[in-house]
Structure formats: structure tokens, C-alpha cells
Amino acid sequence: MTKFTDLNLDPKVLKAVAETGYDTPTPIQAGAITPALEGRDVLGIAQTGTGKTAAFTLPMITLLGRGRARARMPRSLVLAPTRELAAQVAENFDTYAKYTKLTKALLIGGTSFKDQDKLIDKGVDVLIATPGRLLDHLERGKLILTDVKVMVVDEADRMLDMGFIPDIEEIFKRTPFTRQTLFFSATMAPEIERITNTFLSNPAKIEVARAATTNTNITQSVVMFKGSSKPKEPSEKRALLRQLIDAEGPSCTNAIIFCNRKSDVDIVSKSLNKYGYEAAPIHGDLDQAHRTRTLESFRDNKLRFLVASDVAARGLDIPAVTHVFNFDVPSHAEDYVHRIGRTGRAGRSGTAIMICIGRDDKNLADVETLVNQEIPRKEVPGKAAPARKSTEKADADTEAKPKRTRSRSRRKPVDADAPQPVAENTSAPKAPAKAAAPAPAPAAEQKQPRDQKPREQKPREDRPQGGRGRNNYRDNGPAIVGMGEDTPAFIALSFAERAKV
């Protein structure tokens, strides 16, 4: 079996590696370190959590052992898609380079430009950055990349998926053609590999596992859930999440809960805290200091649940994560591999549970196609939502309820003048007719029943003028035919007489 001592690494690097407790490299490390030390370009494809960061950090430190950096001219460059991943690479560098004199600078958003400029002005051997912040320094004229000897693109597929293609192309143009390029990724789609061919020259391709596969030591499952109604579905889905956590029992010591939207991250985190589950959110809208404190608390086991967007799905090395809950099915199938890769790291076992609602069926099918396996279905523990009525009971309720008409116009009109039947009350004496009759109205306002006296027709000139609505002429006699007495004289003339006029 290959040991780190067999890989021609610098003795100072080997000493630091030994202190971490590792003596045997992972497959991606064993396959990538040797060609990287030979100065070849490397294209590494491996499952997340298999040690890709150390696969480029260890040979890079060895290659930079000789030489000294000049001001504003770093000797190596590491690009990472997110701040958290860049910070993690910096931590790995500190761990493995502590017995060397190499220096580093971390260029990420959310931190002071002034502090970063001071480090760059002193000269750094390793520059670790996100594309956006690196371009900011380049445009300000604070950085020169013509002395870069080793360039690393970590999580290359994510860099391309996030729309960093123009930024990466611009950065590559500013680096020397003779640089050594190392690409590492968990997934490598054919179209992404075609783009990487532009940046790499005759690379050594190390593929220790089929692209987009998941670790076999992770137990995967999916819960097919449907709420009782659309308005209640979000709250019932959060209740289901709590039930899934409770069902795991003491084995769920900590967990990362992934949501597709930042707003859901905040809502789920508040909901968990409301019901006594210690949780905190992490997503791109939070400032860097807050995100760093949250991750530190989670690593130190001061925080049990980390509710995150996909900003935490890539490359974060938190070895002791026992569970991953996908509150949403990821929109991009590749993100599923990265999400569940936060558990089951370094040979440990892990559990990944996903909740799928009706509109996520297509995304679930894409995930299963990518990983080339059907994710086992998991029964809902208890009742996540009120049980629906059975078909028989629903039919019975439907028959018991009277059917409502859609419009009042379908109802049979009631004739107010027709005599209405009155139920007689034999138990109580009838009240005198005079007592029930209202007080007589003035003579001018009294209305005569139609059956007693026919209504007197008003002269035509006294009829109300104005609109032609039927209400204006109600009870005013028969409908008007023609123009009556107001007919103009010329209309009564014949055509011959009109011609003479």
C-alpha cells in the first residue's frame, strides 16, 4: 500500500502530515501528487470528501520550497468558488506548511481591502482567492500574476456552473503560458471537460471514481411528501423535518440542512429554534464575519444544526457531520452529490435524507439519473400532516351536503303578490289583525294593491326621462312603441315627398 513517504514530498511537509495522524494517502492523493510533482497539468475527478484539497496543497508546498516571492507578484494561485472553501484551503495550507517559511494571502469578499493590500505588498508565495475579489485587486492595479508558476482551480465544475467562465478566462490571460495548472472537481460533465481542455495542456487525468457518484458509506433515502393543502404545505414540511430528526434519535449528533432558497434557510432556522432545536443559518447574504462565527460554532459542536444554502455544499471539511437533510431536492443534480458529501467523510458512515414534494419529481429523477441509482423511499414517521378523508367518506359527505347553485338567477322567482302559506300555531292564540297592522301612512304615500284598483297611467310627458334601464320605467305602463308625439314631421313623409323638400 502506498504511503505518503513514497510520494517524494518535502520532509517538512511529511512531518506536518504525520502530525495530523494520516500516513496513507487517499486514491485521489496517490494518483495526483506524483504527476503534480513532475510538473504536469492534472485533471482530478473524485467524490467529494476524498481529500482533493490535500491532493494539490501538498505538492504545491513542495514545489514552492525553493525561491522567494516578490511584492505584488504571488508565486502560486488557488481559485475557489466560495469564501468558505477558500478559507478552508487557507487552513489546510497553514497545517501542512507550518514547518516551511512560505507565506499566503486570502482574498475573499467581506473583508478589508486595506488588510489584503498589506499582505500583497509584502509578497506572498500562495494566493488563495475567489474570482470576484481577485479581479477587484487586478483592476485596482494592486496585483500582478506574471510570476505565477502553479495555478489551481478547485471545484472546477462549480466555478463554471456559477457563471465564472468569463472571470476565469480573464485570470488565465494574465498568468504566464508556462504555468502548471491543476483542476480538481467532484463532477466533470462532458461540456465542462471540453472547456477545461482550453486551460490544460496534456493533463494527467486521475479519475478514482466514476463522475457524479456518491460514497457507498452514506445511507441515502427520500421521503415522498404531499401536504394536506397548498397553503399548509410549507409548515407541514417543516413539521416533517422535525419528525425525521426525532426519528434518527441519538445517532443524529449534528446535521446540515440544505435549502434551495436563502429565504427558506432563514425560515427553517427560525422554525427549528422555535421548537427547541438549536440551529443557525448560513447563506451568501450574511456577512463574512457572521458566516465564519457560525461555522466555528458548528465545528466546535456548540451548534447542532446548520441550515445552509448551496454556499456550504462545496468543499467544506467538517469531518464529524453525522446527517445531511435535504429540505429541498436540489435544482441542479450535481449539487446533490456535493450536499450529501458533507457526511460520511474520511471513512466514516453517514446518513442523507431528502424530502421530495410533488413539484420536485423532475429534479428527483435528474438526481437518480446522475448517480445512476434509485434512491430508496422512506416512510413518513408518524403523521406529518392531517390524514385525508377516504374516498367513501368523501363521497358520503358530498351527498349529505346540499348542492349550491352558482347564480341567484337560477332560483325560482318569488311572487310577492301571491298569497304565501302560513303555518298555523295551534298552541298560541292568534293576534288581532289590527295589532299586527302598521300605522296608516299618509294618503299621498299609500300604495294600493293591484287587485283592488288599477294603477292610473301617467301622461307621456310626465314619465321620467333619462336612462333606458328597465328600472326607470318599472310600473309606468306599457312599453313605448316608436317615438309617439315627438316624432319629427319629415319622418312621416314619403320618399317622393322628401325628394321635393
In contact, 222 and 376? CB cutoff 8 Å: yes
Q: Which of 103, 100, 96, 105 lies closest to 78, judged by CA? A: 105
Question: What is the bridge-based pairing of β-strands 305-308 and 204-207?
Answer: unpaired
Answer whether residue 243 shows pLDDT above 60: yes
pLDDT digits 0-9 by tens, 177-200: 899 999 887 777 676 777 778 888
**Count of residues for the chain?**
501
CATH 3.40.50.300 fits 218-371, yes or no: yes
H/E stretch holding 308 reads strand 305-308
Sequence ranges of the domains in the chain:
4-207, 218-371
DSSP 315: S
Range of weakest confidence among 188-197, 328-337, 400-409, 477-486: 400-409
Cell of 188: 466533470
pLDDT band for position 111 (cuts 50, 70, 90): confident
Q: How many Å apart are CA 263 and CA 197, to the nearest integer?
A: 38
Domain 4-207 and domain 218-371 have a common topology: yes
Check pLDDT > 60 for residue 244: yes
The pLDDT of 24-28, averaged and rounded, is 90
pLDDT > 50? residue 273:
yes
Quick: pLDDT tens for 139-175.
999 899 999 999 999 887 777 777 787 888 899 889 9
CB neighbours of 217 closer than 8 A, spacing ≥ 6?
Answer: 344, 347, 348, 349, 350
Give CA–CA dist 96/79, Å, rounded: 19
pLDDT tens figures, 189-230: 676 777 778 888 889 999 886 666 777 889 999 999 999 999
pLDDT confidence tier of residue 436, bands split at 50, 70 and 90? very low
Using pLDDT thresholds of 50, 70 and 90, give the confidence band for residue 469.
very low
Report which of 249, 257, 224 is spatially closest to residue 376, judged by C-alpha positions.
Answer: 224
SS3 177: coil
**Angle separating helix axes 333-340 and 361-371, nearest 10 degrees:** 70
Q: What angle do CA 46, 345, 222 make, to 5 degrees?
A: 90
Please give the C-alpha separations between residue 55 and each of 4, 34, 59, in angstroms, as whole numbers: 11, 10, 7
The per-residue pLDDT for 333 is 86
Could you tell me the pLDDT band of residue 238, with boundaries at 50, 70 and 90?
A: very high
Cα gap 311→320, rounded to integer Å: 19
459 backbone φψ class: left, alpha, beta (φ>0; ψ -120 to 50): beta
Rounded CA Rg of the chain = 40
pLDDT for 483: 55
C-alpha angle 75-80-81 in degrees, rounded to nearest 5: 150
d(CA 319, CA 268): 24
Tell me the three cell numbers of residue 139. Answer: 483592476
**4-207: what fold?**
Rossmann fold (3.40.50)
Average pLDDT, the chain: 80
**pLDDT at 17 > cutoff 70:** yes
- pLDDT value at 278 more than 50: yes
131-139 and 165-173 are packed helices; what angle lies between their axes, rounded to 10 degrees? 50
The residue among 18 and 435 whose pLDDT is bigger is 18
For the ranges 75-89, 114-128, 260-274, 465-479, the lowest mean pLDDT is seen at 465-479
Nearest alpha-carbon partner for 211 in 374, 371, 26: 371
The helix or strand, by DSSP H or E, that contains position 45, with its residue range, turns out to be strand 42-45
- C-alpha distances out from residue 32 to 58, 126, 464, Å: 10, 19, 99
Would the CA dihedral through 436, 442, 443, 448 be positive or negative? Answer: negative
Distance CA 187, CA 493 (A): 94
Percent with pLDDT over 70 in the chain? 73
Instruction: Specify the pLDDT at position 422.
Output: 47
List phi, psi (to 5°) of 25. -75, 155
Beta bridge partners of 106: 128
* pLDDT surpasses 70 at 340: yes
Q: Is 412 helix (H, G, I), strand (E, B) or coil?
A: coil
